[in-house]
Every structure is written in C-alpha cells, then in structure tokens.
Structure 1
Amino acid sequence: MEQSATLDIESLKITQEQFILASQSLHLQRPGCEAVYPVGLYGWRKRCLYFFLLLLLVTMIVNLALTVWIMKVMNFSVDGMGNLRLEQEGIRLEGISEFLLPLYVNEIRSRRESVLVLQSDKNVTLNARDDRGQLTGQLTVGPEAVEAQCQKLEVRSRDGGRLLFTADEEEVVMTTEKFTVTGSEGAVFGHSVETPLIQTRASEDLRLESPTRTLTMEAPRGVEVSAAKGPLKVSSRKDLQMESTEGEILLDADTIQLGSLPLGVYTASAGQASREQAAYEVCVCPSGKIYLSPAEGSSTCQAMSNICLWS
C-alpha cells in the first residue's frame, strides 16, 4: 500500500516536471492582467453635453410658451379661431376680414339687418365661370367706372319677379312705367328711339331737336303732338316736311298762324299788289309748299306761280 502511494506521488512529480519543461521549451507566457480603459464622458465633453441639454430644454419651454400665447391671442377654440367660426352652414367671419389671394365661394351673405361691404384699394371684381373654367360673366367695380361683361344684363324688382331693365347685344329694353331724365342737357341718343310716349313735367318745356341732322317721327298709326297748356313750336333751318301716306294732316286750333310765308304772284305788278293788298289767300303747291296769294273775288292760287315753279 505504501509502495503504491509512493509510486503515484513520484509519477505526479514526473508529470509536473515534464509540463514545466515543455512549457519552457515552447516559451509560453502566463496570461497577465490586460489594460483597463475608462468608459463614459469626462471633462469638457461632459460639460458641453449638459449645456446642449439645458439649451434644448429652454428652447422647448419658450416654444411651448409662445404656442400658448399665440393660441390665446388668436382665440383658438374648437369652433374656429379669432373672427373665424366654423358652422354647419359654412364659415362665419365677424368684423373686417382681409383676403390676399382669390376667394372661391358659392354664396356670400351678411348678417341680418347689416350691410355687406366689399372694399379694395384698386377694384373689386366678381367672376362667374362654367364647369370648364371659362369666364361667363364679370362685374368690375373700379375707381372710374363699373363694368359688367355678360351675355345679358337684367335688373329686377325687389321681390325678383318683375323685370325692370334688360340689355344684350341687340337691344336695351326698359319695362318701367316711367323713365325720368333730370339732367339739364336732357338725354342724347345716337340712333333711333322707340317709345309710345314722350312727355315732360307740368312746369317744364319739352324740346326735341337735332342740331346737325334731321329729326324724324314715325308711327304706323299716326303721330300725335299736343301741348295742353302752352304753345307748340316747330322750327327747322331748312325744310319742314309733314307727310301722311294714307290719311290727312289736321291742324285743329282756335287760331293757326303761319308767319313769314312767301308771296306768290305771276304778274309783273307784285310790288304794287303787295303794298295795296289787305287780304291774302293761302295756297298750296303740288309739291306741298305753302305761299300767300292776293285775295280776290275768285281763287288766285295758280300752279304756275313763281313759288311753285322754283320750289
């Protein structure tokens, strides 16, 4: 027993010595302690990080404070902001509102018992377009004029049923009972005017004139010119022509005066007859010209009078 134990110890020693010799022959080194590197931020890096974190926190606080202040000033709420309110019928604006870009709406309506004012530094333009975006109507209110561009312009009564005025490319129609012109110079028409009645006020005169052209009055059933409480004066620089194609010309008055009518004679003693004659006869030439002729026992009107020959 002791001999076997001694052999084991000896064998262990031999094995240990062999290991030491083998390790020395291979030049193996024992593992030593490795270098320790510190992990983290130290020094000025750490101070810079804390400074940026503090700056970010201050910026967030200032941003939050400004956001709250803007919401308070602009009066933000669940219904809108400021004078703007979102309703089921649309958008409601209180007070004065300014639009810097075009506004596209279906209807603009003011509050009850209040006016709607559209104001601009230059002009106010209202455009109407079709489904393809083409311009169909335009109303421009400018500093010098109000212009309307459309196919037909209509003006209706307050209830919207009665048509008062309409204008298109072919004609202008006024359906009012009375059209009054109060200007001192009256109304000037460049072309023809169709109307059933032209009259003036009771205390004013009615004057129809054409300074450089002719004045023509025509009607399919006749033209009536009357002055109820004053004189009727018709004057012309050249010829005054009254013509009735199918009827007669009637001058009905208590006194009819035709002044400055020429004296028509065919004899050589016209000067003597004109000085001694007290009564004259009114004659009418075939052309319609009126002249005076000395009155005698029978008619002295002659178709061969000098007035008729030179008319």
Structure 2
Amino acid sequence: MDPSASLDIEALKMTQEQYILAAQPGPPQKPGAPPSSTAGIYGWRKRCLYFLILLLLITMIVNLALTIWILKVMNFTVDGMGNLRVTKQGIRLEGVSEFLLPLYVKEIQSRKDSPLVLQSDRNVTASARNELGQITGRVTVGSEMVEAQCQRFEVRSSDGKHVLFSADEEEVTVGAEKLRVTGTEGAVFEHSVETPHVRAEPFQDLKLESPTRTLTMEAPKGVEVSATVGDLKVACRKELLLQSTEGEIFLNAKTIRLGSIPHGTPPSSLGTPYPRQTVYELCSCPNGRLYLAPAEAGSTCQAVSSVCLWS
C-alpha cells in the first residue's frame, strides 16, 4: 500500500474525531478515556419536584390571603385590635366585650358619658385577694340574692365622709339621720334594740308590741312616752305594772277615768243589796286592787270586802 494513502486515512479519522468532540457540549475528553455520564433529575423525579414547588407556592399564597383577611376582619391597627385600644392610661374597650376566663385588673372605669354594665347569665362575682392568694372580700350578684363576704361592710355618703350603714360580726350601725321602715308589718327585732328616739310618721300611729313576751323599755335617765296631738293608749292582756323604786307615779290630767272597776260589798251584807247609789268612793285592798263602795256619811271601805277576799 502506498504510504501516502494510509496517511490520508489517518488524517481523516483525526478530523472526524475532532468534529465529534467539538459537537459535544461537555468538556473535551482525552483520547482513549471512557465516556462520562451527565448529572441531573429526569423523568418522574423531576415532575414530583415541580409539583412540590407548586404546592408550596399555593400554600404560601393561601396563608398570605388568610392572614390579610384576619387582619381585615379583626381590625388590627397600630393602636390595638377591634374594640380593644391600647392607650397611655391602659386598655380601652368599646362596645360589648365578653370574657370567657377570669379577668385580673387593677381598675375598671367606664366612659364619662356612659354607665358601666357587668352582665352574666348566672352571676357576677368580684373578689379581692391578699398576697397569699386568699380571698379577703367578695361581692356576688346572683339571680336570687346579692351576697357580700368581708370583715366589714360599709355604705358611705356621696362625699365619702359619713358612714350611712355599716355591719360586722359584732354590730350593725345605721348612721343616717332617719331609719324608715315602710312595710305593713313594721320592723321585727329578735333581741334588744338601742335607740335614742322612736317616732311614727306624721298622722300615723306608733305601736310597740310583743305578742307572746314582755315588752321592756329601760333608760338610765328615764323613759319618756308622749303623744302631743293624739291619744296615748296602753293595753295588755294581764297586769299592767307601773313601778317606781325611788320616785313617785304622777298622773296629771283634767280627767282621770278608771273603767270596769268592780263594786265591793262587805261580807255581812251579802244578800242584802244596797239602795240605789249614784255616788261611790274608791277603795283599795291590801293587795292594791281597787273597787267601788257606796258613798255614805262615813267610809264604807273594808279590807274584808268581797272584792278583796276573792282577788
């Protein structure tokens, strides 16, 4: 074979290999080296990656839309949220607010032109606690009663200087100038009552009554019972006792009437009636019982009268 022909064939092969290497996108490989594999994600893996990226993008868009919607509905601003406003003085709530859990605050105050309303379906309870968490005072407003639990309960005047009503474990004090009871049955006291003055309303009767026990009025310097306009009536079922240990019982009136006084007759004259009498004298038995005896020239009062014997 001609040597020139073989050289042309070799040059042609080299030219073909250089064309193939130039056509490939990767870096040129050395002659005689094994072919390199291209790295990447192809097929179903590539589709799953694109689907995951799309799902994350949709989730992010939905979360952003929900966040914007919540901010719009709840009315979030730089000053607060909805009806809640944060001011320098504290927190301000406008409109109706509902609390599902306990509320711990230092002071609750309404607006100057509107009242403060605390409302609950069952009851409203306000409690005060000490440093140890123990309840020292509690006010409960329920559907049937209002209960206050404290060491001392006070009701003061509008200026806060005078105590109108106070109550503790030992006593109850009424500091008002007048205590008025408007019930038809009046006031019922199970034990003693200490007061400087008991007075009825104008044109109304004053009645002190003890239906089954004794009514006692005591005072170190005397008890005064007066009716400047109307009548003074004292009635009892059994005995009426007027007793003065050191002084006297003074009855000062234009007319003193003693009704239902029995007529007394001496034992010797039983069965012999006295003649018709229009004038009698008042007699007294040793036990203090009074009776009437016919008035004659001399006294007819006798200690052995029938009234004194049967009394």
> Which TM bucket (shorter chain)?
0.7 to 0.9
Shift of 1:123: 0.8
RMSD value, Cα: 2.6
Shift of 1:156: 0.7
CA-to-partner distance for each residue in 1:195-229, whole Å, 9 max, x for gaps?
Answer: 11111122221111111212111122222222222
> What corresponds to 1:116 in structure 2?
116
Gaps of at least 5 residues in structure 2 are: 1-30
Secondary structure of 2:102's counterpart equals coil
The 5 Å alignment of 1:154-303 reads 154-269=154-269, 276-284=276-284, 289-297=289-297, 300-301=300-301
Indicate conservation of the 8 Å contact 1:273/1:294, yes or no. no
> What corresponds to 1:50 in structure 2?
50
Q: Distance in 1 between matches of 2:220 and 2:185?
A: 30
> What corresponds to 2:20 in structure 1?
none
Q: Distance in 2 between matches of 1:93 and 1:62?
A: 32
Q: Structure 1 residues 224 and 83 mapped into 2: Cα distance closer, same or farther (>3 Å)? A: same
Secondary structure of 1:276's counterpart equals coil
Secondary structure of 1:126's counterpart equals strand
Q: Structure 1 residues 62 and 228 mapped into 2: Cα distance closer, same or farther (>3 Å)? A: same
Matched letter for residue 98 of structure 1: E
Q: Distance in 2 between matches of 1:144 and 1:130?
A: 29
Shift of 1:80: 1.2
Greater shift after overlay, 161-170 or 262-271?
A: 262-271
Indicate conservation of the 8 Å contact 1:264/1:306, yes or no. yes
> What corresponds to 1:71 in structure 2?
71
Q: Distance in 2 between matches of 1:153 and 1:171?
A: 11
Greater shift after overlay, 118-127 or 48-57?
A: 48-57
Matched letter for residue 201 of structure 2: R
Gaps of at least 5 residues in structure 1 are: 1-30
Q: Distance in 2 between matches of 1:49 and 1:285?
A: 129
CA-to-partner distance for each residue in 1:218-256, whole Å, 9 max, x for gaps?
Answer: 122222222222222211112222222332223333333
Shift of 1:115: 1.1
CA-to-partner distance for each residue in 1:17-58, whole Å, 9 max, x for gaps?
Answer: xxxxxxxxxxxxxx9654644422222222122112111111
Indicate conservation of the 8 Å contact 1:79/1:86, yes or no. yes
Greater shift after overlay, 205-214 or 35-44?
A: 35-44
> What corresponds to 1:28 in structure 2?
none
The 5 Å alignment of 1:29-40 reads 33-34=33-34, 36-40=36-40
Q: Structure 1 residues 219 and 281 mapped into 2: Cα distance closer, same or farther (>3 Å)? A: farther
Greater shift after overlay, 224-233 or 192-201?
A: 224-233
Q: Structure 1 residues 217 and 59 mapped into 2: Cα distance closer, same or farther (>3 Å)? A: same
Q: Structure 1 residues 58 and 192 mapped into 2: Cα distance closer, same or farther (>3 Å)? A: same
> Number of paired residues?
281
Q: Structure 1 residues 222 and 51 mapped into 2: Cα distance closer, same or farther (>3 Å)? A: same
Q: Distance in 2 between matches of 1:223 and 1:270?
A: 46
